Each structure stands twice: as C-alpha cells, then as structure tokens.
Structure 1
Amino acid sequence: MTGAQLEMPGMPRRLFPATPSKLATFSDCPRRYRFAYLDRPSPPKGPPWAHNSVGSAVHAALRSWWELPAHERTPRAARQLLYGHWSDAGFADAEQSATWRARAAGWLDEYVPTLDPDDEPAGTERQVAATTERLAITGRVDRIDLRTGDDGDELVVVDYKTGRHPSTEDDARGSPALALYVLGVRRTLRRPCSRVELHHLPSGTVAAFEHTDRSLANHVRRAEDVAADITAATAAREEGAADDEAFPPVPGQQCGWCDFRSSCPTGRAAAPPRETWSFLPT
C-alpha cells in the first residue's frame, strides 16, 4: 500500500520530511537518492574524501571554540581544537595530512580574531525546523548570530565554507539550504531572520544576501516541486515500476566522486574515478 493510499479523505496532506541534503541528492541523481535513502541495506559507500575531513575538522573546532568560556576563546585555542578534531581520512599520506592541518590552522588564525568572543551566538550547530504547505523541513545551522540593526534585533544564518573557491552573493542568494534554514530559524527561535552569510575561511571573505518573502517563496516552491517528484517516484516503485524507471541515474563527471560509484555501472562508465584528495582547495 502506498503512502497516497494510506491518506484518508478529509485528512490533512501528509508533509514530506525534507532536509536540504535529501532534496539536493534527488535533484543531482535519483538513483543516488534511492541508494542513500530507500535501499536497505544501503549499498556500501566509497572511501572518505580529504576535503570533507578538512571541512569537518574546521566546523568541529569552531563549534567547540564557542563552547569554551569567553575568556578562553583565543586563536591558539581554536588551533588546538582543530588538532583534536583532525582526521587523516582521505589524504594521500601522513605528510599531505600534516600540510593541510597546518593550512587549516592558519585559516583559523586569521578568522578567529574577526570574532568577538563575548558576543554569544544564538546557536551553534543548532537544529531548526519549519513546515510549509507540503514540507516538514529540518536542518542544522553552523551558527546563528544575533545582530542589532536599524529595525532591532535580527538573527543571521552563518555557514562556514572551506572549499576551493570563495563564495559569492549569487551563492548566498541561490542556496536552497540557506533559504530553508532561514525558515527554520524563524519558526524555531521565533525571531526575525532574513540575512544569510557564507564565511569562506581560506579566502577570509563573506558573501551575504538578505532574503525577502518573495525569494523565500521561490525556494520553497522549488523544494516542494522536488519533494513532489520524490513522492511520485517512490509511489511508482511501490506500485511495481523498475528501480531505474522510477529513480533513473543522471550520469556525468560527478560520477567520478559519487559515494555509490562501486554499485553503479552507469556511473563508472560515465567518468573515471577521482583521487580522494583531488578536491582540496588550491
């Protein structure tokens, strides 16, 4: 029996449980979505990636830094926290790992002095949630700042980035995840929130955008469209459609770094495998 069949006449529409990563996975490749969220047991994933190890360590260090007493929030403390969270996973060897650990520590040495240790965030690694007409949205925000502006206090969504390229205003405006986080922050913390910021630590730059009701509505509409496609594909599979008919692969260069490459002949034929350290920022 499908989810649609379980709904009774007159009952409210069942909301689709959505996270930004879940929606993005289906948009990128429906087969990958099936592997990640539907197939049980899920196919084995490939090896870890060095750039993910870098990003995870930096995020964890900054989260832990804000958990320290204010007088202990120093650049040296951030560096030590990074060392404690560091993982060698995905690097070519110990030497490459050590080089990138030192480089990431340098990012923190430059970034942490731009922060006011006494300015407590409204949240770090904060889980937020909201609902729309069709979605039950959840997500985890790197940091939520409380800023005072001309119109009073407002919350700001801050997302740390450690990738190759500095973030742009287009990135901030076009990010579905940041837009959904704004909705989640508004609903969870019950305060105004419109501004999103991408803090790119390697370059020390900040890209920002002020969302409007219209821009948020556009993001919600697109997210609901993706959720509707997922629901239709899932129902088709439950009703007997072949896996690849309901959740077709979308081959391309991205197949070279897909976590499920070993389980996807289409992906292996589409692109050669990438080294697990090939996406480290230059």
Structure 2
Amino acid sequence: MGQLGFDFGEQPKRLTRVTPARLSTFDDCPRRYRMNYLDRPTPQRSGPWAHSTLGAVVHTALRELFDLPVQRRTPERAAALVTQHWKDGGFADAEQAAVYRERARRWVADYVEHNDVSGDPVGLERWVSAPAAPEGGPPSLIVEGRADRIDARGGELVVVDYKTGKRAPDEYEARASQALALYAVAAARTLRKPCRRVELHHLPSGTIAAAEHTDDSLRRQLRRAHETATDLRTATDTLSEGGDPDEVFPARTGRHCAWCDFRPSCADGRRAAQAVLPWALLASRDDGAMTE
C-alpha cells in the first residue's frame, strides 16, 4: 500500500497468512480457532443460527443486485432477490421465518430506495491480499480476505461492509474495526489505488457509519494483526510439535460461549454460559432473550 510507505519488496521465506475472520476467532477463543481451522475431522458443531441465515441472504441479495444493469436495481427487484435466496435455517418455525423474510425484504428495498446504487463497484465479495510490514522492513504477514463491496469514489477506494445485527454501528466502531482496516490495506495493494475510507452499512436501521483512516491508524491495526498472528503461529507450531491441544489452544470462556458454533464439543464453554436458542441473536426481535 503505497501511501503507508510499506516495503513490499523481497519477502522472507515464511509469512503468516491471515484473514480478519481467523484473527478475530483466535482473539475471541483460541480453542474455537483450533476446532474450526486445525482439527480434522472438524468437531461437532451446533445447528444453523437464524441471524447468520438472515445475514447471508441479505448479502447475497445485495451482491446480485449490483450484478444487474443499473436500470434493474430497483427496490422491488432487491426485495425479490431476498425471496429468491431465502432459507429457514435456525428459525423457530415457518411463521417466524416468514416474519424475518418480510423484514429483510423491507430492509433491502429501503436501502436501494435511500442510497445511490447506480455506480458499479470495483469489487463484490472480492478477494484482496497484501504482504505487509507493520514496523517497516520486509513483510512479516499477508493480510487477505473477501470484502463485501469495494467502491471507487473520487480516485480512491472505499470498503463497504453490510451489517444486519441488532445494534446500529457508529463511527467509532467503523474506525476500530480491524477487519475493515485490513481490507483497506489489502484492497489498496490488490487494486493499486489508495483506500482510507471504510463504511458499515446497517440494513435494519439504514445507518451508514463511516471512518477515514490515516497512515497511523492503519499501522496500528497492522501491529495488532501482527501480534495476534505471531501468537497464532507459535501456538500452531507448538501443537504440531506434540503440544497438548487444550493447553496450547485454551478456551477463553465468557457469555459468547452461549452461541459458539462448537459448544457441543466444548465442555468448558457449556459450563461457562447457558445456551441461547438459535434465533436469539436476530435483529429487531419482539420477544425477550430465550434460552434452552
């Protein structure tokens, strides 16, 4: 990324390849990281989550909308794409799924109605990648991932991430997001244009939370990524050398254990928090939190 002055020259023999999802998973719980990315066969997971199903459908609908000619990017077509790709996984029953299908249709229709969708993004779920050296010198890691949308505006790139969760994000959350910062670094490298602006588009509320990164703020996020990647690599090497899996990748328990995908395979997690039902994390719910 030229504007940061990183050296993208000759690379060392060993680079740690990381994605925002891998870094976040390891930070949240090393054991969950091991179960997800290293253990084979993969340990037993929980069933589908309704909020994940909902988010995936909305993302798919918006991706396909931008694949259409501009004149067909209408609120009606956006809503129809939600119906076309709808799934019921994780919902309590068909009635609840139908309620959220209609909410999702309304969210995407309102999004198209109130935002300019006439431009053609330079990337839709585009894979971007960049070697990076947070402290200067030869690169120490490769940051990469799949960004929801990358726009070209005024000669620069803008990273857009769609959100469908309960809470509307703010500027602080956009600025603090390690994922968005890493996408900005990787997009600039991959597409050869400056990228500083990142945006969270919250469909349920219509909120757009935006932040402008500086060289310093991007470096700080890269330092964080480098520190996590170093710990991750050390743990992985120790495991491969015969280290005890549960000691090398300990469970980091908390209330997040209530909705962890690997709860069925983690006794520590089951002791730490009571499980929530698969639809408990949906946005704009009318009922209270429910548990098993």
Classify the TM-score, shorter chain: over 0.9
1:102-181 aligned at under 5 Å gives the runs 102-132=102-132, 133-148=139-154, 153-181=155-183
1:77-116 → structure 2 map (5 Å cutoff):
77-116=77-116
Query: SS state of the match for residue 136, structure 1?
Result: strand
**Paired residue for 1:253?**
255
Query: 1:23-38 alignment to 2 at 5 Å?
Result: 23-38=23-38
Secondary structure of the residue that 1:144 maps to in structure 2? strand
Is 2:188 aligned against 1:182?
Answer: no
Deviations 1:128-163 (A, max 9, x none): 111112211211111111112xxxx11111111110
Q: Distance in 2 between matches of 1:249 and 1:141?
A: 29
CA contact (8 A) 1:157 1:195 kept: yes
Amino acid at match of 1:55: G
CA pair 265-117 structure 1, distance change in 2 beyond 3 A: closer
For 1:120 and 1:141, the matched residues in 2 are separated by 15
Which residue of the partner structure matches residue 5 of structure 1? none
Partner residue in 2 for 1:72: 72
In structure 1, C-alpha distance between the alignment counterparts of 2:117 and 2:240, rounded to whole Å: 53
* Deviation (angstroms), 1:118: 3.0
After TM superposition, the score normalised by the length of structure 2 is: 0.89
Cα displacement (A) at 1:239 = 2.4
TM-score, structure 1 length as denominator? 0.93
- In 1, are the aligned partners of 2:164 and 2:203 still within 8 Å (CA)? yes
Distance in 1 separating the partners of 2:241 and 2:161: 40
Is the 8 Å Cα contact of residues 129 and 190 (structure 2) preserved in structure 1? yes
Counterpart in 1 of 2:136? none
| 8 Å contact kept, 2:12–2:140 | no
1:232 aligns to 2:238 (yes or no): no
Q: 1:206 maps to what in 2?
A: 208
CA distance in 2, matches of 1:12, 1:110: 49
**Deviation per CA, 1:250-269, whole angstroms, max 9, x where unpaired?**
11111111111111111111
Question: Identity of counterpart residues, as a percentage?
Answer: 53
Provide the rounded CA distance (Å) in 1 between the counterparts of 2:241 and 2:273.
33
What secondary structure does 2:208 align onto? strand
After TM superposition, give the deviation of residue 125 of structure 1 in Å. 1.1
Structure 1, residues 202-257: CA drift from partner, whole Å, max 9, x if none? 11111111001100000000101001001111122222221111111111111111
CA distance in 2, matches of 1:274, 1:135: 37
Give the Cα–Cα distance (whole angstroms) in 1 for the partners of residues 124 and 12 of structure 2. 34
Contact 2:26 2:232 in 1 (8 A): yes
Separation of aligned partners in 2, 1:114 and 1:123:
21
2:59 corresponding residue in structure 1: 59
Q: Deviations over 1:181-207 (max 9, x none)?
A: 001110111011100000111111111
Q: In the aligned structure 1, how far is the partner of 2:260 from the partner of 2:87?
A: 21
Q: CA RMSD in A?
A: 1.1
How far the C-alpha of 1:13 sits from its partner, in A, is: 4.1
Query: Matched residue of 1:40: which SS?
Result: coil
- Structure 1 pair 94/13, CA: closer, same or farther in 2 (3 Å)? same
Partner residue of 1:8? none
Contact 1:71 1:117 survives alignment (8 Å): no
Q: Deviations over 1:14-57 (max 9, x none)?
A: 11110100011110111111101111111021111001111111
Q: Which amino acid is 1:277 matched to?
A: W
Cα distance in 2 between the residues matched to 1:114 and 1:281: 20
Whole-Å separation in 2 of the counterparts to 1:147 and 1:137: 23
Distance 2:13 2:260 in 1: 34
How many residue pairs are counted as aligned between the two chains?
268
Q: Report the 3-state secondary structure (helix = DSSP H, G, I; strand = E; otherwise coil) of the residue aligned with 1:173.
A: helix
Code of the residue aligned with 1:114 in structure 2: it is H
